[in-house]
Chain A
Amino acid sequence: MTNNDPIIQVRDLSFSYSGEPALSNISFDIAEKEFLAIIGPNGGGKSTLVKLMLGLLEPDSGRITIHGRSPRKMAHLFGYVPQDVNINIHFPVSVMDVVLMGRLRHRGRRGIHREDRQKAMESMQMMGVAGFKNRTIKDLSAGQRERVFIARALAADPEILILDEPTASVDTGGKTELYHLLGKLNETKTVIVVSHDLMIISSYVKSVACVNRSLHYHHHNEITETMIEMGYQCPVELIAHGQPHRILKTHGDR
């Protein structure tokens, strides 16, 4: 664990969808330059937690602070890659224009300036999609769209990068490459990845949060029996990856 002050603090957080509790009484800290994997079963509240951190949802009770301030005030620190990159797939919009959305209201400015285009180009080059910049979004494969969305999130050079299920539409080779890239970005940024793909834990992740209405925070990249029990479709993938060390611990021993 790093020695810095936490960048994100969550205290006694609860949230429900029309009476149906989605998250209850969650508290944890995320340190600066952390690489956190949020895992858990479908419907367990992973995406909800992310949207609360981003300030897109308001908690029923409890609070979240980013550098001690409310998420809404700090929204500009986030680079966000939503779960569904195939929304509005037939929308007539070029790759460049999508990535430029990541520069909207950058430092409160309106309009698109030369610097914005430059930054957009840089993040597209980093994600290997610069060659597609004039294509429309519907002409890309799902994996390419994923990269475009990550480029969009990176365009404003965010302090915290949040990706919701980034590997859903990426093949195995693409996944390895993606994790490698996230590991590199983690040198300068806090990275939070929502995933039900345990493979990510083995490689670059520094800590793991298991979310299923409640939350268990593991300050190591260990894989516990509970994590596997929480409902991943694919312990097979784990084995295939040749996970060298499987430390099986139960919750609450930390």
Chain B
Amino acid sequence: MIDALQYEFMRNAVLAAVFASLIFGIIGSFVVVNRLVFLAGGIAHAAYGGIGIAFFFGIPYIYGTIGVSLAAAFLMTAVAIKAKERSDIFIGVLWAVGMAMGVILLDLTPGYHSDLMSYLFGSILAVPAADIWWMCALGGITLIVTVAFYRDILAISYDAEFAKLRGVPVNLLYFIFIALVAVSIVFIIRMVGLILVIALLTIPPYIAEKFARSLMMMMVLSVLFSLIFNLTGLWISYSYDLTSGATIIMVAAAGFFLSLGVRFAASRIKKWRKKSAHRAAGA
């Protein structure tokens, strides 16, 4: 691994993994505690339309996907605020329309699109240096917003109605965070592809949630888990020449099942201890 760092693409990949972990850990925690997983999935797939637009009009991929994923995210959030009960259907429609639009626009674009697979499954090894700067900036913004509004974010996520009553600008903060979710997703697509976005966004926070005693702790833990999964996945994919996105996801999934096992064992031991304490007291 160390000698691999002499290659620029490898250094970029490691940096991408580090910044990505920071962003996904925080944003993913927000997504999980607010039950926005479906919305995040919708944004990710609608963003495929942005890839189509970028290819068709010959503009840089990043602008196409960020533009479309932001637009989709705002539409979905507006509907979720206005008509909560039906928002899942609307998200489902945008999800499909975005993908269909991407496919059709690519059909209409002349030429052979060799690296389309990389948008579906991602390739962290091909992350360009420019993306690293984007991610560094995004990580900084995410961190600042989260620290500055931590109490508000906590209140909104736990009980939005009460937060509103206390004068917290609930909808504004919601939009800001959804925007961060949308932009983050564009970069996750780069790394692990849009098919696997949801896994990387949700697995680390899900594991962290079970061990954390506060939202802050959950965010810190999911950044750490995410970092472990990303770097381990990257190392394995480099060593065995495997597709990086899929490898990272498999490592995350292994971590997920490991955490389930640990929790199961812990609850068993607790029960067993209680029982034997009971028996000792009875004797």
Seen from chain A, the residues whose Cβ lies within 8 Å of a Cβ on chain B are 54-56, 75-76, 78, 80, 82, 87-88, 90-94, 97-98, 100-102, 104-105, 108, 111-112, 136, 152, 156
Interface stretch among B8-16, B53-61, B185-193, B208-216?
Answer: B208-216
A78 in contact with B165 (CB, 8 Å): yes
Of A93, A104, A152, which one neighbours B167 at CB under 8 angstroms? A104
Interface stretch among B42-50, B120-128, B150-158, B261-269?
Answer: B150-158
B209 in contact with A104 (CB, 8 Å): no
Shortest CB–CB separation between residue A48 and chain B, in angstroms?
A: 13
A93 in contact with B215 (CB, 8 Å): yes
B214 in contact with A92 (CB, 8 Å): yes
Of B158, B162, B165, B166, which one neighbours A93 at CB under 8 angstroms? B158
A112 in contact with B166 (CB, 8 Å): no
B33 in contact with A104 (CB, 8 Å): no
Residue B161 at the chain A interface, CB threshold 8 Å: yes
- Compute how far the CA of A94 lies from the CA of B215 in the bound complex, rounded to whole angstroms: 9
Seen from chain B, the residues whose Cβ lies within 8 Å of a Cβ on chain A are 33, 151-152, 154-155, 157-159, 161-168, 209, 212-215, 217-218
Q: Report chain A residues within 8 Å CB of B168.
A: 104-105
A87 in contact with B159 (CB, 8 Å): yes
Q: Report chain A residues within 8 Å CB of B209.
A: 90, 92
Of A82, A87, A90, A104, which one neighbours B166 at CB under 8 angstroms? A104
Q: Report chain B residues within 8 Å CB of A98.
A: 158
- Compute how far the CA of A104 lies from the CA of B157 in the bound complex, rounded to whole angstroms: 14
A80 in contact with B33 (CB, 8 Å): no
A91 in contact with B157 (CB, 8 Å): yes
Ranked nearest first, the 3 interchain pairs of A and B with the lowest CB-CB distance are A104-B166, A92-B212, A105-B167
- Compute how far the CA of A93 lies from the CA of B153 in the bound complex, rounded to whole angstroms: 12
A56 in contact with B164 (CB, 8 Å): yes
Shortest CB–CB separation between residue B36 and chain A, in angstroms?
A: 13
B165 in contact with A56 (CB, 8 Å): yes
Q: Report chain A residues within 8 Å CB of B151.
A: 100-101, 104, 111-112
A136 in contact with B152 (CB, 8 Å): no
Q: Can you give 15 A-B contacts (C-beta < 8 A)?
A: A56-B161, A78-B165, A82-B159, A87-B159, A94-B213, A98-B158, A101-B154, A101-B155, A102-B166, A104-B152, A104-B163, A104-B166, A105-B168, A111-B151, A136-B213
- Compute how far the CA of A183 lies from the CA of B158 in the bound complex, rounded to whole angstroms: 29
B159 in contact with A92 (CB, 8 Å): no
Shortest CB–CB separation between residue A176 and chain B, in angstroms?
A: 27
- Compute how far the CA of A54 lies from the CA of B161 in the bound complex, rounded to whole angstroms: 10
Shortest CB–CB separation between residue A115 and chain B, in angstroms?
A: 15
Q: Report chain B residues within 8 Å CB of A156.
A: 166
Q: Other CB < 8 Å A-B pairs besides A87-B159, A92-B209, A93-B158, 12 of them?
A: A54-B165, A56-B165, A82-B159, A91-B33, A91-B158, A92-B212, A97-B154, A97-B214, A101-B155, A104-B166, A104-B168, A136-B213
Q: Report chain B residues within 8 Å CB of A75.
A: 165-167
Closest A residue to B34 using CB positions: A88
- Compute how far the CA of A94 lies from the CA of B214 in the bound complex, rounded to whole angstroms: 6
Shortest CB–CB separation between residue B98 and chain A, in angstroms?
A: 28
- Compute how far the CA of A17 lies from the CA of B214 in the bound complex, rounded to whole angstroms: 36
Q: Report chain B residues within 8 Å CB of A56.
A: 161, 164-165
- Compute how far the CA of A14 lies from the CA of B152 in the bound complex, rounded to whole angstroms: 32
- Compute how far the CA of A93 lies from the CA of B163 in the bound complex, rounded to whole angstroms: 15
Q: Report chain B residues within 8 Å CB of A91.
A: 33, 157-158, 215
Closest A residue to B219 using CB positions: A92
CB-CB under 8 A for A101 and B33, given A92-B213, A112-B151 = no
Q: Report chain B residues within 8 Å CB of A88.
A: 33, 157-159
Of A87, A92, A108, which one neighbours B215 at CB under 8 angstroms? A92
Shortest CB–CB separation between residue B151 and chain A, in angstroms?
A: 6
- Compute how far the CA of A87 lies from the CA of B35 in the bound complex, rounded to whole angstroms: 12
Closest B residue to A79 using CB positions: B165
Shortest CB–CB separation between residue A179 and chain B, in angstroms?
A: 23
- Compute how far the CA of A82 lies from the CA of B167 in the bound complex, rounded to whole angstroms: 16
Shortest CB–CB separation between residue A68 and chain B, in angstroms?
A: 20
Q: Report chain A residues within 8 Å CB of B165.
A: 54-56, 75, 78, 80
- Compute how far the CA of A111 lies from the CA of B168 in the bound complex, rounded to whole angstroms: 12
- Compute how far the CA of A94 lies from the CA of B151 in the bound complex, rounded to whole angstroms: 13
Q: Report chain B residues within 8 Å CB of A101.
A: 151, 154-155, 158-159, 162-163, 166
Q: Report chain A residues within 8 Å CB of B167.
A: 75-76, 104-105, 108
Q: Report chain B residues within 8 Å CB of A76.
A: 166-167
Q: Report chain A residues within 8 Å CB of B152.
A: 104
- Compute how far the CA of A87 lies from the CA of B158 in the bound complex, rounded to whole angstroms: 8
